[in-house]
Chain A
Amino acid sequence: MPSRIDARRFRSISRRELLKLTPVLALGAFAVPKLRERLLKAGLGFSDWASAKLFRPGHLAPTFADSDLTPFDKFPINGYDVEDPEVDLDKWTLTVSGAVQKPGEYSLAQIKTLSGLTQNTRHVCVEGWDVIGRFEGVRLSDFLKMIGADPNARFIAVECADDYYESLDMATALHPQTLLCYGMYGQPLTRKHGAPLRLTIPTKIGYKQAKYLTDLKVSHVLEKAGYWEDQGYSQFYGL
């Protein structure tokens, strides 16, 4: 470009440079309701894909000293419907189905024959609050071995006494801190906290950690992602 041009030429250069910004207008697609829905779904999907990539099977969530625990009475109770779905604890069994060698009913006593463990881990709610709780249970990975789950299966789907439902990717299900939890703070799980059995997953957000489990299905394809996922929440939401 010469060092001196006339004003008309300058205006045309300026106009051309301005037009080069038109790609910015592509963001306007988010203003169109139909497109917006699809774009946001894609954005959420991309975030889930990235989350799954970031997940490291061997990386443990931080654990805490007993002195760091949130007092039991200050551990929030979040239910989507009822706080106590009135499970008949004496007759309760976990119904196992899907890609497993030993489907059927499993009692709490049978589940407890697996080696139990206690962990103090952080529970993070999607709303933004967090608490540190003490959880007792057995590794979900041990239970999956017990029922002879197909190692090539991809998902674990659970259903709950309050009609809540959730799902887990296999990598998270096999994580050593993912528990079938039957106790908190040294006591059997209270009804409001999900008696008799709930999921505790320190590598996942709170809503993935379903309470009052009644059914567990091992599957290759995901039929239902989860209650909140169906409302628009992230499916993977790994921490």
Chain B
Amino acid sequence: MATRAIEVEDPKTGELTEAVYEHPLVIRLCHWVNAVALFVLVGSGLQIFRAFPSFGSKIPENDLIDWPKALALGGWLGGALQWHLTFMWIYIATGALYVGYQIFSGNYRQILFGPRDLSGVWPMVRHYFFFGPKPPSKEAYNPLQKHAYTSAIALGVLSVLTGLAIWKPVQFSWLAWLMGGFHLARLWHFLIMWAMLAFVFGHLVMVVLHGWNNFVSMLTGWKKDPEYPSS
């Protein structure tokens, strides 16, 4: 993998620190814009959900939950739809650009979970959850991280497809049909949102655990003192 690596020299001590260019600009831009869009879509989506907080019939209507208005965006159904129908384009555009750039640049190898990552899953699970020894880092991302990022991208694609099935159940009737009809597509769209939020939660926990240098790499692209050999 052609990750750019350099050595940074401290002018006083002459100490050398390694730094790698991990995240190209397009990826960083898409990451942050998409993160904002996701946040807006979840907030407005929950406001839309408040209009009919059920997946059953309208008559009789059995509400699942009275989702607090403070945790929703848009003020009312019409306002929330405006946010949702605006930011879905931003979400789709940055998502598509992100995936396209990953493929085009070959950068995807860094995060795509593949068959050769399977053997590394258990040692990593043991390390994260059962106090096992830390497996040696061979690449930028360990098998569990790759699994998480690959899943998040899959969830992103599914969120768009289920959304499309709800928004256009006639023009994309085949899509709605694949999901078991309009009615169920709405449920999948909702569940995929929670799966995505679970990813975001795990992602944020790991960002905190991995420290400052790791966080900065998504801002500047450069990761100082990486945990893995750069060549």
Contact = CB atoms under 8 A, between A and B. Distances in A.
B85 A44 contact: yes
Interface in B143-180: 167-171, 173, 177
Given A7-B9, A232-B82, A126 B170 contact: no
Interface stretch (B24-32, B96-104, B105-113, B202-210): B24-32
A70 B56 CA distance: 12
A97 interface: no
B79 A232 contact: yes
Contacts of B186: 128
Nearest to B55: A128
Interface size class of A (residues with CB under 8 A): 35 or more
A5 B8 contact: yes
A125 interface: yes
A165 to B, nearest CB: 17
A73 B77 CA distance: 26
B220 A23 contact: no
Contacts, number: 145
B59 A76 contact: yes
B123 to A, nearest CB: 33
B219 interface: yes
A194 to B, nearest CB: 17
Nearest to A15: B220
A63 to B, nearest CB: 11
Interface string B51-94: 11010011101000000000000000111011101111100000
B171 A59 contact: yes
Interface residues of B, number: 52
A80 interface: no
Nearest to A48: B85
Interface in A182-225: 202-203
Interface stretch (A35-43, A102-110, A146-154): A35-43
28 contacts: A1-B4, A3-B6, A4-B9, A6-B10, A8-B11, A10-B6, A10-B222, A17-B25, A20-B28, A21-B28, A21-B219, A24-B32, A27-B36, A44-B81, A44-B86, A47-B86, A47-B88, A59-B170, A75-B59, A122-B169, A124-B169, A128-B48, A128-B52, A129-B61, A232-B82, A234-B81, A238-B168, A238-B171
The 8 A-B residue pairs whose C-beta atoms are closest, nearest first, are A43-B86, A128-B52, A129-B58, A232-B78, A127-B51, A40-B82, A239-B170, A47-B85
Interface of A: 1-8, 10, 13-15, 17-18, 20-21, 23-24, 27, 30, 39-44, 46-47, 51, 54-56, 59, 61-62, 70, 73-76, 122, 124-131, 202-203, 228, 231-234, 238-239
Given A24-B32, A46-B89, A125-B58, 15 more contacts: A3-B7, A5-B7, A5-B8, A6-B9, A17-B220, A21-B28, A24-B36, A40-B79, A54-B168, A54-B171, A74-B58, A75-B59, A129-B54, A233-B78, A238-B170
Interface of B: 4-11, 16, 19, 25, 28-29, 32-33, 36, 40, 48-49, 51-52, 54, 57-59, 61, 77-79, 81-83, 85-89, 167-171, 173, 177, 182-183, 186, 216, 219-222
